[in-house]
Every structure is written in C-alpha cells, then in structure tokens.
A and B are shown apart, each in its own frame.
Chain A
C-alpha cells in the first residue's frame, strides 16, 4: 500500500503559497510532531502494543495466570483441525458474506427510497437511522425477546396467519438461528449502507438522467448505466468497511445466541471470548481472534487502493 494512498485520501493536493514557506519548515515539523505526539503515544500503547502482544500470546500456551511456553505457529496450525474452530471459521464467512450481501442489496433499494422527494422525508430518513445510533447490545436484547422460544411475537403473528401450527424455536434451531443473527446484523447495519449510498446518489448530476431519458433509456437502464457505475466507488468503500465490521461483530451473536445452538452461530470473536476469557486459554483465544487479521488486511489494502482511484476520477 503506497504512501500516496492517504496523500490523496486525506490531504488535498497541496496548494500552499510560497510565501507561507516560513523560515522554519523544521519549526513547522516540530509543531506537527508535538501535536501528533499524544495521539501516537495513545495508539502505540493501546492499539499497536496490544496487537503485538496478541501476536505473542497466540504463539504461546499462555493461560490466565501462567505465562506458558513459546510454541511458534502451533496454535494457528492446530486450530483448523479442531471441529469447533473449523465450524466457527465457516460460520464467520457465512455470516459475513450473507449479511453484507443483504445489506448491499437492501441498502441500494433504501437509498433510492430515501432519495424520493416528499414532505417529511427528513424524518423518515432519521427514523431509518435509529438502529444505527442505539447501543447494539441493548437493541439485540429486544430481538432476543422477539425471538423468545415461548413468547415470540413472530410466532404469534405466523400462527394467527395460519402459516405455522405451533411455536418455532427460532434461536434453538441451527438454520433459524443463523437466519436470526444475519437478520439482526442487517437490521443494525442497513442504515449505514442506505444513508451512505444516498449521499452518493445525490452527487450524481441530474442532467445525466435527463439526457438518458431523452435518448429513450428506461428507468432500469438509467439505474444500470448511470447510477451503479457512478456509485461504484462508494459501494466498494462501504462493502469493504462492512466486511471488517461484520466479520468482527461480537455483540449481535453474544447477546442473541451465545454462539449456539451447538456452535452453529459461533463466530471468531465469540469463540475467542469463550476460550480466552471464560476458560482462560489466552494462547488459543488470541490465535482465534487473529484469524480475523487476513480479512482486515485485505479490506484495508483494497480500500486504500480504491480511495486513490476515487480521488483520481
């Protein structure tokens, strides 16, 4: 990942007038480092150091209260051979891919819906955003109650519509539990997709659509040939960002299913929590959460590339 990436993303092309080249670029640089020092110190101590420490832990047999011994990559290599980890890794991929795909599709629809003009549209937009501001662990608690094995409101509705004959154990049935965690993740993540796509939509010049209409292009054609191509950089950014957030999601699954039933909704973060904290197996816990790292690295690299391209357009 080149340095020019952030150059284009963060810093506008420098148009510093010559006269401002004050005698001390050295002085300016000192001021800059002085202003950055507290943040860099903080991030070094509480982000970089813990990351390296996690890397170290993952290569040991450390337990809570016992440093353990160095075993190199043994934890990483052994984990995929354990049934529970293999299942967890698969669940994480399934959860991430399906939730992001649904959020992408519904997010585009939502953006078009919210782009319509009508009195009070501002309030509709804000109503749709509420799931995204509310504390996730608490709103998932409401979903847990709505999926309750005995008192589920969904069961009541489905039974009264005569679609099911008896109550469904939503969170106790593997396939339904998987459906439920994805649904709840979509619920909390959709606003981010919808609003960001909406922001992208409104930057597309209206004349393009008008010209296309004059040329006899239909509504679907306009979406396919104008909206989607122009929205592509925004879509890519949001999707990659969401891959990182979704694959590392903890609260949704921890509150809704605790990874059950029979680990069918267990993901890397909840398994790392269970092994690392509940059973105190720090070495394996750290190794499990570090399996998230490749996804993170990939997303960061691609995202950085995309941003560079976006700014060149």
Chain B
C-alpha cells in the first residue's frame, strides 16, 4: 500500500503526460510549421514531425515585413489595454459598492450583474453591430474599445466583489470611524489590500479582450484596423494556397503575449479562475 515517493512521482508524470501532450501539441505544431520551408512543408513523403531541410524565418519575415500583422498587433494592444483599464476602474467602484455598502436593491444589482455576466456575446453581436454604426464608430478601434467593457466589467465586478468580501473590514472601518471618506478609504486602504485581486482581474480582462473574436470580426472590415484574432484568421491569406507557414507563425506570435503574462502570473490566474467559478 505504501509507495515510495519516486514511484508516486512517476505515476503522476505518466498520468499527466497525455493531458500535457493534448494541451500543448497544437502550439508545438504551430512552431514546427512556422519554421519549415514550403517545399518540405508541402511534401507528403516527408515526416511532418521533423525539419530536415533546415529552419527558415521566411514565414516570420513575410508576417512582419509584408503583411499587416504588425498593425493588427498594435490594434490589439490598444484595444485590450484601453478596454481593460476602463473595465477595471468601473468594476472596482461597482464591486466596492456591492461588497461594502448597504443600500436598497443591492441584491437586485448583484443579480443583474451576474445575469449580464452570463450573457454570451453571440447573442449581442447583431444588435451591437447596428448600435456601433448608429454611433458612427463602426469600423474604428472605438467600436471594440467601447463594447468590450460590456462583457468584461460584469466578470471583473463579480471577481472583485468576491475578493473584497475576503478582505477583513476592520482597517477600513477604523479609518471610517476616524472620519475618512468612502473614496479615501477605498484609495488608501482597500486598494493596497486588494492589489492581488486587482492584478488578477486585470490579467483576466486583458486575456478576454486579447482573445475576443466575434465583435472584432463583425464591427471592423478595413484590413489595417483589424485586431490579431480577426486579422490572422480572415485577412492573412494571400493569393497562393501555401500560406500555412505564415498563418501558424501569426497564430503563435499573437498567442505569445497572453501566454507570457500567464506564465509570469500563474498563481493569479489559477486563483482567479477558481474564484470566478466557485465563489462567483
């Protein structure tokens, strides 16, 4: 019954291996494809797992020098940064009110935020497409900057409310008793204490915004104004058929920012993921 630690670790690795391979294989495949020369990539007699003819950077060169890819990256950065910043500020205010203040209809507001949080973007893209054109922001980055917070804010509010609820109130209460205003207490006491929660919320917001697809696909039609998710999928394809090298290079490069953030802030992601689902 008692097993040695080494055997236990071996069992753990062996059982985890299929899941790790399943999860990472598509990314490994992006890398292999993006580094292969076309004549080897499209040669059916070659083993697709190996790169025999040498590594090439031509797909990356095409991506960065001849395609609108750098513009798409820039657009994605602008949209994700601005919409995340706006959402976190709005959500922090809302979460503080929901977690700390007593007012009538507080439960109603929480329920409302929760329902909006569950509302899928696929239900809203058609009417929103009309709305952004009425607002004269269709086919501009603004159409995304303005609409993304509508699905990010409820999620972040939910997450931050749960986080604020886990912070003891004592410090804040003594500050209030000492005559501090609510906003001052929020800024000087709650903000520093809630920092880990705010970082988590920011990371999630950024990840959501960076990966958003249907609005980006629907609201923006000009190639140079697209974000990476829509741009690579819709507009990267050239006249010729053999474009998989640069498509995979694009998919890999555009996935990197969030994957890097994720590996740097791993614990934040895990705590947020579980807080969002279990507590929220």
Contact = CB atoms under 8 A, between A and B. Distances in A.
Interface in B89-142: 90-91, 93-94, 96-99, 101-104, 106-116, 118-131
A148 to B, nearest CB: 8
A11 B99 contact: yes
A273 B129 CA distance: 11
Contacts of A303: 118
A130 B98 contact: no
Given A187-B26, A277-B218, A124 B123 contact: no
Chain B interface mostly helix, strand, loop or mixed? helix
Given A51-B119, A118-B9, A138-B251, A35 B93 contact: yes
Chain A interface mostly helix, strand, loop or mixed? helix
Given A9-B110, A133-B259, A142 B91 contact: no
A85 interface: no
Interface string B210-237: 1101100110000000001110110000
Contacts, number: 331
A196 B273 contact: yes
Interface string B68-93: 00000000000000000000001101
Contact of B27 (A43, A130, A241): A130
User: In the complex, which of the residues B20, B24, B274 has the most CB atoms of chain A within 10 Å of its own CB atom?
Assistant: B274
Interface stretch (A109-117, A174-182, A204-212): A109-117
**Contact residue range for chain B?**
35 or more
A285 interface: yes
Given A11-B165, A29-B103, A234-B278, A39 B90 contact: yes
B127 A57 contact: yes
Given A116-B15, A124-B16, A6 B114 contact: yes
A75 to B, nearest CB: 13
Contact of B97 (A36, A49, A196, A292): A36
Interface in B5-47: 8-9, 11-13, 15-16, 19-20, 22-24, 26-27, 29-30, 33, 41-42, 44, 47
Interface of B: 8-9, 11-13, 15-16, 19-20, 22-24, 26-27, 29-30, 33, 41-42, 44, 47-49, 90-91, 93-94, 96-99, 101-104, 106-116, 118-131, 146-147, 149-151, 153-154, 157-158, 161-162, 165, 173, 176-177, 182-183, 207, 210-211, 213-214, 217-218, 228-230, 232-233, 244, 247-248, 250-251, 254-255, 258-259, 261-263, 266, 269-270, 273-274, 277-280
